[in-house]
Structure 1
Amino acid sequence: MGETEKNKELVIWHEFDGPGDTSIEVLEEICRLYGERNGVNVISEVMGIQELGERLVAIERTGVGPHMAFVPADMVVFKEKARLSEAPVELFSAELGENVRSSMTMEGTSYGVPILTGNHLVLYYNKDILPQPPVSWEEVEQLSDELKQRGIKPIGGDMSQSYWFMPFFTAFGGWPIKDGKADLTNESMRSALQFVRNKIDQGILANLDGSTALLEQFIDGEIGAIICGEWIFNYLDRRMGQKLGVAKLPDIGGKPSLPLNSSIGLIYPNESLDSETRELILSFTRFMLSEECQMKWAEQVQRIPTNSAVQRNLLEKGSPNKQSILSLLEFSRTMPIHPNMIAIWASIGAGLDVLQQNSSEDAFNAIVKKEEANHIEVR
């Protein structure tokens, strides 16, 4: 590297901040390795997901942003306010399959380069409590009396979160967006809210915070199974070992509960790819997609890399649980990326807020009210 390129600096914003999110370990190691090998000071700034979003949308006003941000795919909807550069994903076609390459695309344009994929919900179960995972909610209900007599909650999930709610909505035939508009105020939504409320009232579904109590009680053997994301697998695997099992989410009335899947990747705020740092940024991106770095995500924190060759290796040689998580991508749907999804998530969240203490019909009405307030077409 020439003298003029020495002592350069790259800043990355990210949100690997939860107690169970061990991904920060790999990101910081990759930043350190790249910096040492290239004479670059790579600074990773961690923050909560809400703060990350707020800081990205403030870039249009402040003009202050990082060279890169490592974000969930749906954050590309901030393209205007975050002043995102178009992402040259075609430069990485050797590493990324076509479906993955397009996972951070909105309205035909790519605004990010996917680094990790999956991000889907699965069923984790305690083999000491449930030798075999329940394949349906009817089976969960059959098991519930015996489990409750032993002081064990049958199944847990975080029903305050829109992302956790989606498998229930899809099982009743719902999908959040149609022709670019919200598609929430329908019988699928009403049925899904009623199902969740009934299971909570029956003591079958424990509604717990997804980053704290849900994990703690599951690890302590107080819950038989939990609905949670593939991103937490490494944390649970470290603490539960052979007791941990991974399975498909239970069906509802013979219909599959399909969670969403998405990518996590690099975006380029403040039009950083139009700056003099462009080649350095792309060099770092290529390093993130190298087999060396992608294997670090897979082996050290058990995330799902986007590099096609590394994925094939994991399917052949990974642990049974890791192979299950990879195979369960087949039983998920890709998260829609559209500007209206921000308001759609907020509408679902408004309903789930009400559902915590009130009836499913009250929750449904809260979604209708939020939709009307957001001026989204109600169907």
Structure 2
Amino acid sequence: MRNLFIFISIFLFSSVALSAEKVTLHFWHSYAAGGFYKELSENFTKQHPNIKIITTNYPTDDLKSTIVLSMFKNEAPDMVLFPSDLLGYYKVLKLGEVPAHWFNNNTESAAIQATGKGNELFGIPLYQGNHLMLYYNKSLVDTPATTWLEMANQVTMLEQKGVKPLAMRVNKMYWFISFLNAYNGFSLVNDEVVINELAMKKALKAYKFLLDKKLTEKSCDFDCTNERFFSGEFAYSFNGIWSYRDGKKRLGDNFAIAALPTIDGLPLKSMRSTTVLAFPNNSLHSEKAQAIFTFSNYLQSEKVQRHFYQKNGQIPVDANLVKTLQLQGSENQKIVLKLLENTFAMPTSAAMSAVWPGMALGVELYLAGELTADKTVIFIQKKIEHELYKIKQLEGVTH
């Protein structure tokens, strides 16, 4: 009897000690307002004192290379937040397959489907969109241009007001691909990039039209599409959902949204992506799995989903909240959701990571007049093939 009492005492003591054991989770992201996730993590720890979240913020352009390097150094974080197309690196990052019960029941099925290949799901969707739209300042433009030619015809009028026409990041391929999509210029087949040569030439010429007509500046950067537009230097900003909240705050009732202007009678089609929480180095199957599960549930909760939208203007993946926005949102909010319908979903393939650098240098050389459209297409095709080769080599090294 005494031995039984000792055994029970030891068992209870061990259980209490285990429940009190503190777990530290490392969480990486690239959200510009780094304090947002730090605040969320601190609020989570107040509710779960035994789980500490250390957040690390990397520049968007550096996150992919940093996370890949961390795998080689065995220093990968427990969780990382990134666009769903990076899930295509699931082999390199050793992303564990997410169990079905980890997904919130209210999450839109389309958002869940965007997190994997076939029946394998490698991330948890937290918010969606990331699409490009046309913002404009109503104090400078009465009626927004519906075609690029129409905007070109507004240049003189805007210059007379001392205003530049369009803020746009010409050097970023996320913008160029909207033109390419208008002509159905590329597709992925079995993780290989297929370029429609005629469509690529048309997209290149349409893109160069913007510079030839002095609609925008080749050197336009993030500050250009945001701060300089908000301060009234530009009438339009070809920009993303990520700047919606700042636009409303800075321009107030003069901030408005329109569909992207058409080209050759065809609508431009921005890419869209889902931002997901992923788990490198099979962390969701590690001894920290329960703590990771608890934090992922917290980020999927209605309260946090609502916070994503109210604080940052990010479109939630909670189906009930999306319906509320569709019914009760402002005119601008409804336009944002409507424009999301005319977008291309970002494929969950590592091949997409070959597209961006594969196109960038070729487009730059074409805009500088150093390559013809014909030679640019050939250059881009070869560059994409080279980038795909590097990705496959990387996958071979990590397995």
* TM-score after normalising by structure 2: 0.87
Instruction: Name the amino acid aligned to 1:16.
Output: Y
2:93 — aligned with what?
82
1:28 and 1:316, CA in 2 relative to 1: closer, same or farther beyond 3 A? Answer: farther
SS of residue in 2 equivalent to 1:262: strand
Query: How does 1:235-246 map onto structure 2 within 5 Å?
Result: 235-246=246-257
SS of residue in 1 equivalent to 2:222: coil
Query: How does 1:134-173 map onto structure 2 within 5 Å?
Result: 134-173=145-184
How far 1:104 sits from its partner (Å)?
1.5
2:10 — aligned with what?
none
How far 1:375 sits from its partner (Å)?
6.6
- Structure 2 residue 364 is the aligned partner of structure 1 residue 364: no
2:128 — aligned with what?
117
Contact 1:124 1:225 in 2 (8 A): yes
Which among 313, 317, 325 is matched to residue 302 of structure 1? 313
Contact 1:161 1:349 in 2 (8 A): yes
How far 1:62 sits from its partner (Å)?
1.8
Structure index of larger Rg: 2
Unpaired segments ≥5 residues, structure 2: 1-14, 390-399
1:48-73 per-residue CA deviation (whole Å, 9 max, x = no partner) reads 12332122212442221111101111
SS of residue in 1 equivalent to 2:81: strand
Contact 1:118 1:230 in 2 (8 A): yes
1:37 — aligned with what?
47
1:2 and 1:11, CA in 2 relative to 1: closer, same or farther beyond 3 A? Answer: farther
1:57-96 per-residue CA deviation (whole Å, 9 max, x = no partner) reads 1244222111110111111122122111112245325121
How far 1:321 sits from its partner (Å)?
1.5
- Structure 2 residue 264 is the aligned partner of structure 1 residue 292: no
Contact 1:123 1:225 in 2 (8 A): yes
How far 1:3 sits from its partner (Å)?
4.0
Instruction: Name the amino acid aligned to 2:380.
Output: I
1:64 and 1:96, CA in 2 relative to 1: closer, same or farther beyond 3 A? Answer: same
1:375 and 1:262, CA in 2 relative to 1: closer, same or farther beyond 3 A? Answer: closer
Contact 1:167 1:258 in 2 (8 A): yes
Contact 1:118 1:304 in 2 (8 A): yes
**Identity among equivalent pairs (%):** 25
1:368 and 1:195, CA in 2 relative to 1: closer, same or farther beyond 3 A? Answer: same
Contact 2:102 2:293 in 1 (8 A): no
Distance 1:144 1:29 in 2: 44
* TM-score after normalising by structure 1: 0.91
Query: How does 1:257-268 map onto structure 2 within 5 Å?
Result: 257-268=268-279
SS of residue in 2 equivalent to 1:271: helix
1:284 and 1:302, CA in 2 relative to 1: closer, same or farther beyond 3 A? Answer: same
1:219 — aligned with what?
230
Which among 7, 10, 18 is matched to residue 4 of structure 1? 18
Runs of 4+ residues over 4 Å off in structure 1: none
How far 1:149 sits from its partner (Å)?
3.2
1:274 and 1:8, CA in 2 relative to 1: closer, same or farther beyond 3 A? Answer: same
SS of residue in 1 equivalent to 2:28: strand
1:14 — aligned with what?
29
1:365 and 1:148, CA in 2 relative to 1: closer, same or farther beyond 3 A? Answer: farther
How far 1:368 sits from its partner (Å)?
3.4
How many residues matched?
Answer: 371
Distance 2:129 2:372 in 1: 30
Instruction: Name the amino acid aligned to 1:342.
Output: S
How far 1:141 sits from its partner (Å)?
2.2
Distance 1:151 1:46 in 2: 38
SS of residue in 1 equivalent to 2:275: strand
1:48 — aligned with what?
59
1:277 — aligned with what?
288
Distance 2:214 2:28 in 1: 40
